[in-house]
C-alpha cells in the first residue's frame, strides 16, 4: 500500500515538473528548427541564431535593457541600503511601521497600477518618456526589495560594534564604510541581485512609461509576439534561458557566500 502510494505521489510531482518545463523546452527546441513555424521540426539549423546576431535593432535593445538593469540596480541598491540604515535608526515603533508599510506598497501593487500612476507622474512633471523615465521607474520599483534584503542584516548587527569603533576614534564616514557596510554586504549583494532580475524581467511598468523611441527586450518580445510566430524569438529565448541559468547559479553562490560569511562571523564571536 505504502509503496504504491509513494509511486503515485512521485508520478504527480514529475507530471507537474514536466508541465512546467515542457513549454520552455519546446521553445528552445524550435529555435534550432528549419522552417518558419513551431509545428513540425524540420531539421537542425543555427540560422535563427545567425539572424538574431545580425539583427542590429535587437542587439541595441538588448544593450539598452542591460544598461537600464545595471544602472537601476546600482542606484536602487545605494538608495535602498541607505533607506534600510535609516529605518533601523528610527526609534519610534509607529514611524518604523509606517515606513515599512510605505516601502511595501510598490511590492504588492499590480504592475498596471504602478505603470499607469508613473505615467501620470512623469507627464505631470514633464519628464520626457524614454530612457530616463524607464530608468527612474526601474530604480523606483527595485528600491523596496533592496530594503527588504538589507534590513535584516542591519538589524542583526550589534550596536556595540559601532560604539566600539566610535570610541576608538572612527568618524561617521569610517563607521559607515569600514564597519557597517562590510557587515551588511551579503544583504546588499542579494538586494542588488534581486533588483537586477526585477529590472531585466519587467514588462508591464516599462510598457507604460517607455514612450515611442525606447524599448526593452520584454516590450520588444511583446510587440513581435503580437505579430505571430517568428523563430528568431525562439533563438532569443534560448539565449535568455542561458542568462536565467547563469543568474540562478549566481544567486546560489551569493547565498553560499553569505551563509559562509555568517558562519565565519559567529565563529569569530565565540572565540
Partner 1 sequence: MQRKQRLSRQTAYFIPYVLWIGLFVIAPVILLVYQSFFDINGHFTLGNYQTYFSSNTYLMMTLNSVWYAFLITLATLVISYPTAYVLNATKHPQLWLLLIIMPTWINLLLKAYAFIGIFSQAGIANQFLQFIGLAPQQILFTKFSFIFVAAYIQIPFMVLPIYNSISELNPSYVNASKDLGATSWQTFSKVIFPLTLPGVKAGVQAVFIPSLSLFMLTRLIGGNKVITLGTAIEEHFLTTMNWGMGSTIGVILIIAMVIIMSLTGGSKRRTKRGLTK
Residues 154 to 213 in contact with partner 1, rule: CB under 8 A: 166, 172, 175-176, 190, 194, 197-198, 200-201, 203-204, 207-208
Evaluate whether 161 touches 104 at the Cβ level (below 8 Å).
no
What residues numbered 45-74 form the site for partner 1, per CB under 8 A? Answer: none
Separation CA 86–CA 81 (nearest Å): 9
Smallest separation (angstroms) from partner 1 to the CB of 110: 4
Q: Does 108 bind partner 1 (CB under 8 A)?
A: yes
CB neighbours of 65 closer than 8 A, spacing ≥ 6? 200, 216, 217, 218
Binding-site member from 60, 67, 107, 181 for partner 1 (CB under 8 A): 107
Q: Does 1 bind partner 1 (CB under 8 A)?
A: no
Separation CA 96–CA 147 (nearest Å): 13
Smallest separation (angstroms) from partner 1 to the CB of 74: 13
Smallest separation (angstroms) from partner 1 to the CB of 270: 27
Q: Point out which span in 54-62, 127-135, 244-252, 259-267 binds partner 1 (CB under 8 A).
A: 244-252
Evaluate whether 192 touches 73 at the Cβ level (below 8 Å).
yes
Binding-site member from 54, 59, 89, 177 for partner 1 (CB under 8 A): 89
Q: Does 78 bind partner 1 (CB under 8 A)?
A: yes
The three three-digit cell numbers of residue 3, written as one number: 509503496
Q: Look up cell 528610527; give the residue.
A: 90
DSSP state of 211: T
DSSP state of 44: B
Q: Does 148 bind partner 1 (CB under 8 A)?
A: yes
Amino acid at each position: 500500500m505504502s509503496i504504491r502510494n509513494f509511486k503515485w505521489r512521485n508520478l504527480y510531482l514529475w507530471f507537474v515538473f514536466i508541465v512546467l518545463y515542457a513549454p520552455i523546452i519546446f521553445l528552445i527546441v524550435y529555435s534550432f528548427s528549419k522552417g518558419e513555424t513551431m509545428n513540425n521540426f524540420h531539421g537542425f539549423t543555427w540560422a535563427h541564431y545567425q539572424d538574431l546576431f545580425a539583427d542590429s535593432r535587437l542587439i541595441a535593445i538588448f544593450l539598452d535593457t542591460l544598461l537600464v538593469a545595471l544602472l537601476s540596480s546600482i542606484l536602487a541598491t545605494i538608495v535602498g541600503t541607505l533607506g534600510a540604515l535609516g529605518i533601523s535608526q528610527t526609534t519610534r515603533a509607529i514611524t518604523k511601521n509606517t515606513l515599512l508599510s510605505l516601502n511595501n506598497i510598490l511590492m504588492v501593487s499590480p504592475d498596471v497600477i504602478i505603470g499607469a500612476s508613473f505615467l501620470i507622474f512623469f507627464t505631470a512633471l514633464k519628464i520626457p518618456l524614454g530612457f530616463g523615465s524607464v530608468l527612474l521607474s526601474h530604480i523606483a520599483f527595485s528600491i523596496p526589495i533592496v530594503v527588504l534584503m538589507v534590513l535584516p542584516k542591519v538589524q542583526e548587527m550589534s550596536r556595540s560594534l559601532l560604539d566600539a569603533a566610535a570610541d576608538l576614534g572612527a568618524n561617521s564616514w569610517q563607521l559607515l564604510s569600514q564597519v557597517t557596510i562590510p557587515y551588511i554586504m551579503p544583504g546588499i549583494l542579494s538586494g542588488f541581485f534581486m533588483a537586477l532580475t526585477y529590472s531585466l524581467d519587467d514588462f508591464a511598468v516599462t510598457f507604460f512609461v517607455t514612450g515611442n523611441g525606447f524599448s526593452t527586450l520584454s516590450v520588444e518580445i511583446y510587440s513581435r509576439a503580437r505579430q505571430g510566430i517568428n523563430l528568431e524569438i525562439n533563438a532569443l529565448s534560448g539565449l535568455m534561458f542561458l542568462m536565467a541559468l547563469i543568474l540562478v547559479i549566481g544567486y546560489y553562490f551569493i547565498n553560499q557566500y553569505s551563509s559562509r560569511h555568517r558562519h565565519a562571523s559567529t565563529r569569530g564571536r565565540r572565540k
